[in-house]
Structure 1
Amino acid sequence: RTDTDKWLKAIQSEIESLRNNKTWDLVEIPNNVNIVSCKWVFAIKNNESGEPTRYKARLVARGFTQEYLQDYDETFAPVARMTTLRFILALANQ
């Protein structure tokens, strides 16, 4: 491929970003746990003319391999209730 060097640069950039943000720690693997694997996701960002401007590589966790009560026991999604949203909009309207 002619764009191999651009993809390798994108991968290097992602790994450097993960290291700089201290994304992970190396630890001993406890017994009876699932290891969450990861995979690379690649995307090309184009300009208005459709020409490639950026090659983006992301390393993503495959969280669907986790098992409830073995690998985690609670989840959280920051979702506002409709009453809270109405209250904030009413305050903003004053």
Structure 2
Amino acid sequence: MNEEYKSMQDNKVWELVPLPVGTKPIGCKWIFKTKRDSNGNVERYKARLVAKGFTQKEGIDFKETFSPVSTKDSFRIIMALVAHYDLELHQMDVKTAFLNGDIDETIYMVQPENFVSEDSKNMVCKLTKFIYGLK
């Protein structure tokens, strides 16, 4: 959780602001996963902060849904090009790739559980970047 929270702070995913009158913040929750290697041994524990995007209202909190993921067809085309031109292909994992998208809408989220700022308990997170769970 600390690693995920620090990553979000480093990427300036939100700023703490007072909640404007007449707005309702969306919630968030922590999702936990155990990453295992090919033998089934625990490789690492992972925590991800996810927005409760199901509470967003179309036309108010979002205009369209979009998920920047690759398709199997794209992967096959890249693999075919690598094989045809005898290229080398390297894979990498970008832990915070999802946090690179800037938000056009104004979305307020409650502060994450266990990470509520003591001096700003009445503040909410005004999101500046996308996080998982948003529409």
**TM-score of Structure 1 vs Structure 2, range by shorter chain:** 0.5 to 0.7
Change (3 A) 1:36 1:42: same
Say what the alpha-carbon RMSD is for the aligned residues: 2.3
- In the alignment of these two chains, the number of paired residues is 70
Counterpart of 2:5, as a letter, is I
* Greater Rg by CA: 1
Q: TM-score, normalised by structure 2?
A: 0.46
Secondary structure of the corresponding residue to residue 18 of structure 2:
coil
Unaligned runs of 5+ in 2: 69-80, 82-135
**1:43 paired to 2:33:** yes
Q: TM-score, normalised by structure 1?
A: 0.64
Q: Once the two structures are aligned, what percentage of the paired residues are identical? A: 39
Cα displacement string for residues 10-48 of structure 1 (whole angstroms, at most 9, x for unaligned residues): x11011101000010111211222211100000011011
1:1-94 paired onto structure 2 within 5 Å? 11-72=1-62, 74-77=63-66
> Counting helix residues as a fraction of each chain, which structure ranks higher?
1
Unaligned runs of 5+ in 1: 1-10, 80-91
Greater RCO, CA 8 A, separation 6+: 2
Question: Which contiguous aligned blocks of 4+ residues in structure 1 show a shift greater than 4 angstroms?
Answer: none
